[in-house]
Amino acid sequence: MKADSIEIFDHDTDVDIAHKINTLELNNWISHLTYIETELANLIGVYREKLKGKLKTNSVLSRLLKKQTENKNLLVALKKYASVRFKIAECESMQCNMVYITEHESYRRSYLYHLDKYRKLKDEFFNKLQVKFSLLKSV
């Protein structure tokens, strides 16, 4: 299912509607992770260019680099998953449909977990940045 061809019709079953909504959601996740990829590159660049050696530890940098790898891996997995969702149309049984719905739920949990951890790391980065600038301001 492609995002530009998703339309909900009166004759769609509940399962069809669920698949269409899941496809829209998946496309949103991919878009968001693509943005996070750019944001991580920018945060890493700021850290390397402006903060390296100015903070007592590089743990935030190493965690940003690790999160960058995790983000790329999840993005690749979601794109691969999106590329095979067209097979949903071939499902003729509830069991087949449930396989896709269960798989989608698994990816949803992975995405939400990743997002939560990324937000916490980004908050930590900005907190350290704020502390550093506060210290520089008082000098």
pLDDT score, position 5 = 62
Q: Which residue has the higher pLDDT, 60 or 29?
A: 29
Look at the chain and report how many structural domains it folds into: 1
Residue 10 lies in a domain: no
Residue 41 lies in a domain: yes
Residue 8 lies in a domain: no
pLDDT score, position 58 = 76
> pLDDT tens digits, residue range 17-46?
888 999 999 999 999 999 999 999 999 998
Residue 4 lies in a domain: no
Model confidence at 86: pLDDT above 90:
no
Q: Which residue range is the domain that position 39 belongs to?
A: 15-137
Residue 81 lies in a domain: yes
Instruction: Annotate 68-107 with b (16+ C-beta within 10 A) or e (fewer).
Output: beebeebbeebeebbeebeebeeeeeeeebeebbeebeeb
Residue 9 lies in a domain: no
Residue 34 lies in a domain: yes
Confidence of residue 1 (pLDDT cuts 50, 70, 90): very low
Residue 2 lies in a domain: no
The pLDDT > 70 percentage for the chain reads: 88
